[in-house]
Structures are given as structure tokens and as C-alpha cells.
Amino acid sequence: MIDGDDMTRPTKRAALLSTAADARHKVQLEPPERLTVRPAEAWAMLGISASYGWRLVQRGRLKTIKLGPATTLIEMSELRAFLARNATPDPEQIAAE
């Protein structure tokens, strides 16, 4: 007679296969770094409103990529450069120097 617990308990081989499958899925779930974002995402990352974000674009302070009539993207490198250009020094750091 087979005990009911024996039927539900995984074998060592099944456990190893399950662990290997989990490891494969973990590798696949890590997406590559994004090169571009949509404007709404960029505004959220910068912590600014959409109207101020579009004003920055109109004034040429933030560059966009237009792929079509309804597709506008902003490169992550452009967001980093924008932040570097517009960073305000920390007053405490200036006082320490």
C-alpha cells in the first residue's frame, strides 16, 4: 500500500529540476537596461510635471526622439546629461571645501 504522503512528496530529482528551472527563469526575468523612456516616464523620473517637461523640450533644454506621429522617446543618457547640467551643488558640501 502506498502512503498518500509519498505521492505528494517530490523526489530529489524533481526538486533539482525545479530548482534549475527557477534559476533559468530568474536569469530571463532580469531585463536589460533601457535605452529610452516615454516622456511621461521621464517626467516621473525627474519629478516634474508634464507641462514643465514639455516646456524644457520646447526650449531645447531636453532632447527627444520622434519615431512617428504618436511616438516620442527620450534617451536615458539625455536624462542623465540633463541632470548633470542642471545639478545644484549641495550648500553643505560647498561650506566644507
How far, in Å, CA of 37 to CA of 63, rounded? 12
- H/E element, 37: strand 36-37
Q: Give per-residue pLDDT as tens, 7-25.
A: 556 676 666 566 655 655 5
Q: Domain ranges in the chain?
A: 36-96
Q: Give me the sign of the Cα torsion angle 33, 37, 41, 43.
A: positive
Q: Give per-residue pLDDT as tens, 24-58.
A: 555 556 777 889 999 999 999 999 999 999 999 99
Closest CA to 48 of 70, 18, 79: 79
Q: How far apart, in Å, do the first and last CA atoms of the chain sit?
A: 81
Contact 79, 42 (CB under 8 A): yes
What pLDDT, on a 0 to 100 scale, did the predictor assign at position 57? 97
With a threshold of 0.85, does the pTM exceed it?
A: no
Closest CA to 42 of 3, 1, 76: 76
Confidence of residue 87 (pLDDT cuts 50, 70, 90): confident
- H/E element, 26: helix 12-29
